[in-house]
Amino acid sequence: MTDDKKQPMTPAKAIAALRALGDPAKAAEMHRYHKVDRPYLGVANPAIDALVKDWRAAVDLDQRLALARGLWKSNIHEGRIAAAKLLTQARIRPDDSGAWDLICEWVPSFDAWAIADHASIAGQKRLVADPTRLDTVETWTTSDHMWTRRAALVMTLPWTKQNNPKPEELAARDRILGWAAGYVTDHDWFIQKAVGWWLRDLSKHDPDRVRAFLGAHADQMKPFAVKEAGRKLSPL
């Protein structure tokens, strides 16, 4: 008898596994919540995590990239979430295997926050692995596509988190704050939210830079974004 575990995992098999866990009522609820017209299966994140863990263990890197590409191409909500999770890994060897390029290919098709955020978490890992990729991300900041502009901040959140940044990390932090400064007059809710989110996370580790940013730009930001940015700041 054939051992299915030894058979190559294909996008079609992966989608079938996701469908088997689907809940039509939950799928309809997710469609209403995310407000983007695409197929939803009604599979919870923990169940996707469990499947992805098994798939990653069963395939080599090239097969994993092919699986992620196929799942993303499906346009199924859970398929795209699973594709992003397949590439969410601190160390991928070799790092030039194509994972970063694939994530970059996905960015122009971002159209909903949950999928964009999962893919951006995968992108964060690849940026930390090779910060020279920030040069590519900087080109996104002038895109006509709002989700691409937003991804430039969401993917660079790791630069908010260093307590004792090295000089090159501090330079990158200031570079990204410059991008955020360029966004303050963009009053799209998701852009303002991303600016507030980046500043809020930075305020836990570098409150003086956040205070300086708000001192220079708060009057151009939406009030909710200013409130979000300052939520973790202690009074002076």
Query: Does a structural domain hold residue 70?
Result: yes
pLDDT at position 61 is 95
Q: What is the pLDDT of residues 198-209, one digit of tens each?
A: 999 999 999 999
CATH number at residue 175: 1.25.40.290
174 and 216 in a common domain: yes
Give the count of domains, the chain. Answer: 2
Is the pLDDT confidence value at 12 over 90? yes
111 and 194 in a common domain: no
DSSP 18-75: HHHT--HHHHHHHHHHH---S------HHHHHHHHHHHHHHS-HHHHHHHHHHHHHT-
Average pLDDT over residues 179-193: 98
Report the percentage of the chain scoring pLDDT > 90. 95
CB 225 within 8 A of CB 196: yes
100 and 158 in a common domain: no
Return d(Cα 123, Cα 198) in angstroms, integer.
Answer: 16
Q: What is the pLDDT of residues 40-65, one digit of tens each?
A: 999 999 999 999 999 999 999 999 99
Give the closest residue to 117 by CA, choosing from 99, 103, 132, 135: 103
**Exposed, middle or buried, 81 (CB in 10 Å: 0-12/13-18/19+)?**
buried
75 and 1 in a common domain: yes
Average pLDDT over residues 154-164: 96
- Mean pLDDT in the chain? 95
Give the closest residue to 126 by CA, choosing from 150, 103, 144, 106: 103
pLDDT at position 135 is 98
Q: Tell me, what amino acid is at 65?
A: L
For 169, what's the count of Cα atoms within 13 Å in the CB-facing half-sphere? 14
Q: Model's pTM, two decimal places?
A: 0.93
Full domain range(s) for residue 172: 145-236
Query: Does a structural domain hold residue 139?
Result: no
Query: Does a structural domain hold residue 137?
Result: no
Is the pLDDT confidence value at 140 over 70? yes
pLDDT at position 26 is 97
Is the pLDDT confidence value at 22 over 50? yes
pLDDT at position 205 is 95
